[in-house]
Amino acid sequence: MNISVAIDGPAGAGKSTIAKIIANKYNLMYINTGAMYRAVTLVAMNQDISVDNISNLMSLMEGMEMHFENDNLILNGENVQPLLTTPVISNNVSNYAQIPEVRKNLVKLQREMGKHYNVIMDGRDIGTVVLKDAKFKFFLTASPEERANRRYEELKNNGLDVKYDDILSDIIKRDYIDSNREIDPLTKAHDAIEIDTTGLDIDGVVNKISNYINGSVK
């Protein structure tokens, strides 16, 4: 079976969790594009490179080697996955992700991955930009309150001291930035299947997506 799957949606809609399960179920390479933008944000902030310093950002990205191993993003030989979901990265990633030069660089890398492997990618612009010809496109969404609660529980379970109201405020802010940026805004592809995950558990969402895939793949 030679397929590619695109999963888009706002922050906290469950894209990564669902994509990992679908990847294992159908033997696809899972590519977490959001983690790639978070990795750029992580390194840029560690080196005090602001969103306005495009030249230094481009030089920084030229020296970044990224690939995935067992759902973890390996950056220059180091597993940085645990660092990518911290509040400070979540609060800043949209600012770096809306930079045209950053997007162009990572989209090119993501498309190359899609050409050589059976893949599933999740992000904000997979079905509309990165994998425009993907056979299967899904757009996951949920209410801001539901998404904030999921992220709150995830971070609390990881031992972080966080406040629900702060996370909700950040998600609403990120929704606005992602949906209104000039380059590749968050939007549902015209041929994507929308799934509202509010009130659905993981198995329920996986079953919905699997039914579509199973019904189309012969």
Q: Which residues contact 116 (CB under 8 A, 6 or more apart)?
A: none
Numbered residues of the known binding site for ATP: 9-17
Q: Which two tokens stand for residue 198?
A: 């509010």
Numbered residues of the known binding site: 9-17
The structure's pTM equals 0.77
The topology under which CATH files domain 4-196 is Rossmann fold (3.40.50)
Q: What is the pLDDT of residue 122?
A: 92
Please answer whether residues 200 and 180 qualify as being in contact, where contact means their C-beta atoms are separated by less than 8 angstroms.
Answer: no
Please answer whether residues 96 and 177 qualify as being in contact, where contact means their C-beta atoms are separated by less than 8 angstroms.
Answer: no
Task: Report residue 106 CA to chain centroid gap.
Answer: 12
Q: What is the pLDDT of residue 2?
A: 59
Q: What is the pLDDT of residue 216?
A: 57
Q: What is the pLDDT of residue 199?
A: 87
Please answer whether residues 191 and 137 qualify as being in contact, where contact means their C-beta atoms are separated by less than 8 angstroms.
Answer: yes
Q: What is the pLDDT of residue 1?
A: 43
Task: Report residue 109 CA to chain centroid gap.
Answer: 14
In the predicted model, residues of the chain with pLDDT beneath 50 are: 1, 217-218
For the chain, the domains span: 4-196
